Amino acid sequence: MTVIVVLFVCAAAFAWESYVRSIGYVPTLNDTEDLWTQVRRQVRPESLVIVGDSRPLFDLDLDELEKGLGKRPVQIAVAGSCAYPILADLVNDDKFHGTVICSIVPGMFFVPGGPLLETSEKALKRYRTQTIAQRASHHLGMFLEEHIAFLKQEDLTLERLLAKLPIPNRPYAHVPPTLPPDFQTVDHERRMRMIEKCAQPGELQTRIQQIWPPLFTPPPPPSYVPKEVFMEQMGKAVEARFRDTVAAVNQLRARGGKIVFVRFPHSGELKALEDRLSPREKTWDPLIKSTGAPGIYYSDFPELSEFHCPEWSHLSAGDSVEFTRRLVPHLRTALGM
């Protein structure tokens, strides 16, 4: 009986592995809170650190940055997150006086609460509380993830597959926006690369493009709060984030640290949506002015603005290398190198 069960399990696993590879999945690491914690522990007092959302994860090539800036960057940006908690945690480390490259997506950076903030806070919590058992499990998991394609916790678990069932909105129960499927590889340094299937026109690319607009569109104000009251509260929350960011930048500078804010490329309908919901003159420009920090907005430079994001939000693997190569001189100027 034991032999029959083992053979059945192996056959089922082999069949599932064959299927997921046939639809485009490949063995690669999951970008888990434990992997983030592993990389966060590599930060040293004088490190070059990347903070932000998913765009610097895809768009920055660590080899090109090391070649151009003289240091190997530590990649602690978090996909689908508000960057501020990670930035604040780094600044509050009294030993840190290095350099920060901080990605700004205004609709994510200035969000006052919700899932984006919770994503960053979960990563920080794991960094502060990770147990020996969790660390051991993480290293075993990495070994398996590098050899087995179906170990995609953000895409192929039963919970995720059930969440993809087409359930329509109904009174008092609105289905949340669909999250994008797995379309990247991840290495031990958390460098993400878009898979070729997504970089080329096709069903996967189109599907991801159509996911971004509802995901980036803020939910309507709750019915039990008057709209004007809600908008006033949101305005105060955004102002508070501006003040906190200014304080964080000043605190870092007081220790001899440096920071540069970067707006990475975005394209298509997503760019039009972001520009409408969080116009530059109300977000990026006041941030740079109030902090006094250098900022690099990609569209200000012809050599950076000619890149196209295949799925509207991230650069392809090849373009990310060339984009980083062209970005380096601007980073050196901004950082006084």
pLDDT band at 158 (very low <50, low <70, confident <90, very high): low
Going from the C-alpha of 269 to that of each of 107, 206, 214, 278, the distances in angstroms are 15, 12, 11, 14
Mean of the pLDDT values across residues 296-314? 95
pLDDT tens sequence across 171-183? 666 666 666 677 8
pLDDT score recorded for residue 274: 94
CB crowding 93-114: b at 16 or more within 10 Å, else e:
eeebbbbbbbbbbbbbbbbeee
Q: What is the mean pLDDT of residues 53-62?
A: 96
Instruction: Name the band, by pLDDT with cuts 50, 70 and 90, for residue 320.
Output: very high
- HEC-encoded secondary structure of the chain: CHHHHHHHHHHHHHHHHHHHHHCCCCCCCCCCHHHHHHHHCCCCCCCEEEECCHHHHHHCCHHHHHHHHCCCCEECCCCCCCCHHHHHHHHCCCCCCCEEEEECCHHHHCCCCCHHHHHHHHHHHHHHHCCHHHHHHHHHHHHHHCCCCCCCCCCCCHHHHHHCCCCCCECCECCCCCCCCCCEEECCCCCEEECHHHHCCCHHHHHHHHHHHHHHCCCCCCCCCCHHHHHHHHHHHHHHHHHHHHHHHHHHHHCCCEEEEEECCCCHHHHHHHHHHCCHHHCHHHHHHHHCCCEEEHHHCHHHHCCCCCCCCCCCHHHHHHHHHHHHHHHHHHCCC
Q: Which residue has the higher pLDDT, 231 or 211?
A: 211
pLDDT > 90? residue 132: yes
Which tops the pLDDT comparison, 273 or 176? 273
59-72 tens-digit pLDDT: 999 999 999 999 99
> Which two tokens mark 55?
């765009």
Cβ count near 250 (within 10 Å): 13
For residue range 181-230, what is the model confidence (pLDDT) as tens digits? 778 889 999 999 999 889 999 888 998 998 899 888 887 777 777 877 77
pLDDT, averaged across the chain: 88
Residue 162 in this model has a pLDDT that exceeds 70 = no
Residue 303 confidence (pLDDT) above 80: yes
Per-residue model confidence as pLDDT tens digits over 243-256: 999 999 999 999 99
Q: Is the pLDDT of residue 126 over 70?
A: yes
Instruction: Please report, as a single letter, which amino acid is at residue 72.
Output: R
Q: In the predicted model, what is the mean pLDDT of residues 158-181?
A: 64
- On whether the 28-154+179-334 domain is CATH 3.40.50, my answer is yes
Q: In this predicted structure, what is the pLDDT of residue 139?
A: 85
pLDDT tier, 157 (very low <50, low <70, confident <90, very high otherwise): low
Confidence category of residue 164, pLDDT binned at 50, 70, 90: low
